[in-house]
């Protein structure tokens, strides 16, 4: 929904501070952008219903707002808001409750049940054969060899290691423990650190990039960043997204293109593939760096949807 203008100065300040809080905690750029927008829509609803302070928000207020969302039309296409989109609105409110509690406020009561089987999410999952196509496409994703090798290394950390985009951005060369076949993730969500396993084949891809391609980038010897750009500085999230789109384009696979793949889609994909291989949910939770098993369990619903529809 287009940005709604808030008249209440307190609400405007809360949206700005909430956005800054999410950014400081290390959430993905998309989360830092969208969740405050969803919160702003909630505040706009409060203003329209003459609720001037957050202390006036009740469980009934939240439930009525959610019913309003369920009945609101989708501005981009016909029909109602998707279950996936409704879940993101829920996430915005639940994170706002957490924000308030972290700032010495009792928070707000949110008794909303997550929408099951987010039908749109399954479209963003790549099959294992499609993942192989992307790796193959890195052989011709750019005219320059060092970029192609960096593309392949990027796929390793985003898919094979299941890292969030922001985690990949802040990887340093010293975080790759080749002897222990581990990657140290120091910039995880909420700044939680973890080790992620890496197999020999993927380790060799990273070795080729670090020792053959990376030294060809400007000022590579003075920077610790694993992924550096043509200017000799740390490669940022937008560049990861742009390079992924270049790889997808190089694959010339229409099906992959239509799935609207993002770096986070690769993380969703590896989680789903691990479930398909009967890896224990607790192990996947540790691998992904989830703080609770509830987050990981969402993939079981997603896998069920995929299998039911034969995708």
Catalytic residue (choose from 189, 214, 243, 273): 189
Q: Is 12 a catalytic residue?
A: no
Residue given tokens 């989680």 in the structure block:
271
| Residue 164 annotated to the active site | yes
Q: Residue 127: is it exposed, middle or buried by C-beta count within 10 angstroms (0-12/13-18/19+)?
A: middle
Q: Catalytic: 52?
A: no
Rounded Cα–Cα distance for residues 270 and 278 (Å): 13
Which is the catalytic residue, given 19, 38, 89, 164? 164
In the set 11, 27, 66, 299, the catalytic residue is: 299
Q: In what order do the strands lie in the sheet with 182-185?
A: 176-177, 182-185, 194-197
267, 268, 273, 285: the catalytic one is 267
Q: Are 292 and 147 in contact (CB under 8 A)?
A: no
Burial 145-175 (b: 16+ CB within 10 A, else e): ebbbbbbbbbbbbbbbbbbbbbbbbbbebeb
Element (H, E) at 242: helix 237-251
- Mark whether 299 is an active-site residue: yes
Q: Cα separation of 53 and 11, whole Å?
A: 8
- Cβ 287 vs Cβ 299: under 8 Å: no
Select which of 72, 88, 142, 264 is catalytic: 264
- What are the residue numbers of the active site? 164, 189, 264, 267, 290, 299
């Amino acid at each position: 929904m287009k940005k709604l203008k808030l008249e209440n100065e307190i609400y405007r300040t809360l949206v700005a501070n909430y956005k800054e809080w999410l950014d400081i905690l290390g959430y993905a750029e998309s989360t830092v952008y969208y969740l405050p927008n969803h919160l702003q829509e909630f505040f706009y609803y409060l203003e329209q219903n003459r609720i001037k302070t957050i202390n006036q928000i009740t469980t009934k207020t939240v439930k009525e707002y959610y019913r309003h969302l369920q009945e609101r039309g989708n501005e981009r296409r016909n029909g109602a808001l998707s279950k996936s989109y409704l879940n993101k609105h829920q996430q915005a409110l639940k994170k706002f409750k957490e924000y308030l509690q972290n700032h010495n406020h009792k928070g707000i009561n949110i008794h909303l049940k997550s929408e099951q089987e987010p039908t749109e999410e399954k479209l963003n999952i790549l099959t294992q054969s499609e993942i192989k196509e992307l790796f193959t496409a890195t052989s011709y994703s750019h005219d320059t060899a060092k970029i192609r090798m960096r593309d392949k290394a990027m796929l390793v950390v985003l898919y094979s290691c299941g890292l969030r985009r922001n985690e990949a951005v802040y990887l340093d060369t010293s975080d790759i423990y080749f002897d222990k076949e581990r990657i140290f993730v120091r910039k995880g969500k909420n700044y939680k650190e973890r080790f992620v396993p890496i197999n020999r084949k993927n380790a060799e891809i990273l070795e080729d990039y670090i020792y053959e391609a990376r030294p060809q980038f400007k000022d590579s010897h003075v920077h610790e960043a694993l992924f550096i750009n043509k200017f000799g500085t740390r490669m940022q999230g937008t560049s990861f997204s742009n390079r992924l789109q270049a790889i997808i384009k190089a694959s010339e696979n229409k099906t992959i293109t239509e799935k609207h793949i993002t770096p986070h889609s690769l993380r969703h994909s590896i989680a789903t593939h691990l479930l398909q291989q009967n890896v224990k949910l607790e192990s996947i939770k540790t691998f992904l760096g989830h703080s609770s098993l509830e987050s990981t369990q969402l993939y079981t619903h997603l896998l069920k949807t995929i299998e039911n529809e034969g995708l």
